[in-house]
Amino acid sequence: MIEIRGLVKRYGARLAVAGIDLVVPRGRIFGLLGHNGAGKSTTIGCLLGHLFPDGGALRVGGVDALAERRRALARVGAIFETPAFYDYLSGYRNLRIFAECTAPVSDARLMEVAGIVGLADRIRDRVGKYSHGMRQRLALGQALLPDPELLIVDEPTDGLDPEGIHEIRSLLLRLNREHGLTLLLSSHLLSEVELLCTDIAVMREGRVLYSGPMADLPRTEGWIVLRADPPGRAADLLLGRGWLEERRGEDRFRLRAGVSVADAVGAAVADGLRVEAAHPIEMTLEEFYLQTVHGGGDA
Amino acid sequence: MLRRLYANELLKLVARKRSHIGFGAFVALEVAFLALLHLPRVRAAIEKLLTRNGLPVEQYFSGTTVAVMIVALTILFLGALFIALVAGDIVAKEAEDGTLRMLLCRPVARPELLAAKALACATYSCALILFIGASALAMGMAYRGWGSLFVFSPAEGVFAFHAPWPGLGRYALAMLTLALTTQTFTAVGFMFSCFNMKPAAATILTLSACFIDLLLRMTPYFESIREWFLTHHMAVWIHVFEPHVPWARIAEATVFLLAWDLTFVAVGIAHFMRRDIRG
């Protein structure tokens, strides 16, 4: 759905995006992670044509977004962290103004979308009277008009209460599941990304350090839990076999490359130990992110 | 697409309170001007001017005469101010508020969006000038009633008097000319609004540019190059009241200003086309 090749963007002497490559497959929920200034918003800005890149190629839905911006963005919706509206106009009029920059939109479709985002009964009110949560839902509504295939979302749950966060998350998941919408999401909330995304990319200082499906995250790094009775015997056993690289406490071990949990359990059972628990230790997304960002290497 | 964008820009202008300030301010100013005219000393001065030129006061101190006086004394300062307020805001305010970024997420071409904004600004300026003309006439009529028209502008060298109906026709033509020529304020304001600056800065720069032009034009040192100043051509509306309408001069001024208007708009759009819109 999105293909970015060698994207470069400079702000004066500062290199904001340093020749990144990124592919967002159709129908996926793709999370863009990184600290402030990592280059996420710049990448999104270049995609939407707000910023002019200094180099590289951008394709949306197979269309060159730099040469044919109008065609590339014809079925793209976007939401920002702090959505801006014409506060002196109604929600309805705001939706119409934004949607009509893409194509004419029928009243029925407009009201349908107002219903989807839960604003049907307040859509004729002035936006100036809306709460933050309502503005966020209106932002989602305008992004869904007229009928996007790709939604670019920058901090969609920022400033919302837990209920609001849950609502927006459920809505985004439903749109992806039921309508096949592709989502490109930029967020600082790693727990949200973990709950929403099928794929992620981690950025730092304008570079992509990791990009791939969540399912393929290299999370274990060889650490396992092996709790056996009698305590302490498992460590001796693993050490004796030359499988132990590192140890934390009685039951946490980092195994040599190529040795699996099954190997360790098999050896323990064969040695007459009673195995109470055995599983790989998985990093949370937060741990993975911090390790990737502070490790500094390309994953 | 342009038609839709233009309609939406007009809708935004109409819905904003700020757009109506100019209309309200002019009505207030017209009332204040009438109060001033009511002062014995001011009335005496006008009556003296008419009688000295052999014109019957009751016939020539009329609604249309008062309307021309109101427009001539206020348009350059207040008209420029309110047009600059709206034109200076049209892009810069949306950039500041973030709505421009929202609009530009859409597959709309920047020149098209800016063209719609420029057209909406031009429409607003026309509406404001015509409103000023109509309300000044209504106030004048209410105060002095129907009658002949007397116009005296020493700065522009215009001294003219007309019978009631031809006078009214000239007044209408003058307002149309004024609506056309004041588009230069709009174009300058629009250009500054397209630059990366706060809306207030765009408004102040617009007003400064217009007043500097006016002051330089009035400076004797620049007498020989008066024709190069914008405000010199913008004052052509008062010449509509001359005994014979100087069509050639009006056409020349209009074309001169139109060329500048297009240049200002083009400079604004060209700058905006290369501008990064950041959040």
pLDDT digits (tens, 9 = 90+) for A222-252: 788 889 888 888 888 888 999 888 888 888 8
Indicate the residue of B99, B103, B276 with minimum beta-carbon distance to A51. Answer: B276
Contact of B5 with chain A, judged by CB distance below 8 Å, is answered with yes
- Token readout for A293 is 């960002």
How many Å lie between the alpha carbon of B267 and the closest alpha carbon of chain A? 19
**Chain A residue whose CA is closest to B2:** A101
DSSP state of A214: G
Extract the tokens encoding A224. 């396992």
**Average pLDDT estimate for A163-186:** 88
Stated as kind and residue range, the H or E segment containing A236 is helix A233-240
List the one residue out of B187, B215, B237, B191 whose CA is nearest residue B91.
B191
Residue A24 has pLDDT above 70, yes or no: yes
Residue among B105, B274, B277 with most chain A CBs within 10 A, to mutate: B105
Q: Nearest CA to CA, how far is B204 from chain A (Å)?
A: 24
Average confidence (pLDDT) over A53-66: 93
Strands of chain A (E only): list them: 2-11, 14-24, 29-33, 55-60, 63-64, 76-79, 150-154, 182-186, 199-204, 207-213, 223-229, 244-248, 252-255, 274-280
Does the structure show a pLDDT above 50 at A296? no
The domain limits of chain A are 2-216, 223-281
Regions of chain B with pLDDT less than 50? none
Look at A84 and B98 and tell me if their CB atoms are within 8 Å.
yes
B127 touches chain A (CB under 8 A): no
In this structure, of A56-60, A288-292, B121-125, the range with the lowest mean pLDDT score is A288-292
CB B11 to CB A93 under 8 A? yes
Longest dimension (CA), chain B: 67
A90, pLDDT greater than 90 = yes
In this complex, do B15 and A88 lie within 8 Å of one another by their Cβ atoms?
A: yes
Bridge partner residues of A2 (DSSP): A24, A60
- Per-residue pLDDT at A221: 67
CB contact under 8 A, B102 and A76: no
Which chain A positions have a beta carbon within 8 Å of B105's beta carbon? 48, 50, 73, 76-78, 152
Domain ranges of chain B: 2-273
Q: Between B221 and A286, where is the model more confident?
A: B221
Q: Which residues numbered 56-95 in A keep a CB inside 8 Å of some CB on B?
A: 69-74, 76-78, 80-86, 88-89, 93
A127-136, A206-215, A281-290, B42-51: least confidently modelled range? A281-290
Residue B206: its H or E element:
helix B199-218
- The answer to whether residue A297 scores a pLDDT higher than 60 is no
Q: Quick one: pLDDT at residue A200?
A: 92
**Which whole number is the average pLDDT over A118-138?**
91
- Record: contact A86-B105, CB cut-off 8 A: no
Gap between the terminal Cα atoms of chain B: 26
Strands A29-33 and A76-79: unpaired
Q: Considering chain A, what percentage of its residues have pLDDT values greater than 70? A: 97
Within an 8 Å CB–CB cutoff, is residue A151 touching chain B? no
Contact B93, B102 (CB under 8 A): no
List the helix and strand counts (H, then E) for chain B: 14, 2
CB within 8 Å: A80 and B109: no
Name the minimum distance, in Å, from the CA of B94 to any CA of chain A. Answer: 9
Residue of A nearest to B1 (CA): A101
Instruction: Please give, rounded to a whole number of angstroms, the shortest distance from the CA of A78 to a CA of chain B.
Output: 6
Structure confidence by residue, pLDDT tens digits, B93-143: 999 999 999 999 999 999 999 999 999 999 999 999 999 999 999 999 998
A34 dihedral zone (left: phi>0; alpha: psi -120 to 50; beta): left
C-alpha triplet B172, B174, B177: angle, nearest 5°: 115
Tell me the pLDDT tens digit for each residue of A189-223.
888 888 889 999 999 999 999 898 988 877 666 78
Residue in A97, A100, A153, A158 to test binding to B, most B beta-carbons within 10 Å: A97
Query: In this complex, do B276 and A72 lie within 8 Å of one another by their Cβ atoms?
Result: no
**Is any Cβ of chain B less than 8 angstroms from the Cβ of A14?**
no
Q: What ipTM does the predicted assembly reach?
A: 0.84
| SS3 state at A185 | strand
Check if A8 contacts B (Cβ < 8 Å): no
Q: Do B107 and A71 touch (CB under 8 A)?
A: yes
Torsion of CA B218, B222, B223, B225, to 10 degrees: -120
CB contact under 8 A, B103 and A70: no
Report the predicted TM-score, pTM, of the whole model to 2 decimal places. Answer: 0.85
| Pairing between β-strand A29-33 and β-strand A182-186 as defined by DSSP bridges | parallel
A128 contact B CB<8A: no
- Work out the minimum CA distance from B2 to partner chain A, whole angstroms: 9
Cis peptide before A230 (omega within 30 of 0): yes
Tokens of A181: 């919408």
In 3D space, the residue among B56, B59, B121 whose CA is nearest the CA of residue B261 turns out to be: B121
Look up tokens 């911090």; give the residue: A290
pLDDT at B278: 81
> Which of these CATH numbers, 3.65.10.10, 3.40.50.300, 3.30.465.10, 3.40.30.10, describes A2-216?
3.40.50.300
The answer for residues whose C-beta is within 8 angstroms of residue B25's C-beta and 6 or more apart is B78, B82
CA nearest neighbour of B147 among B129, B131, B162, B127: B162
Strand partners, A20: A7
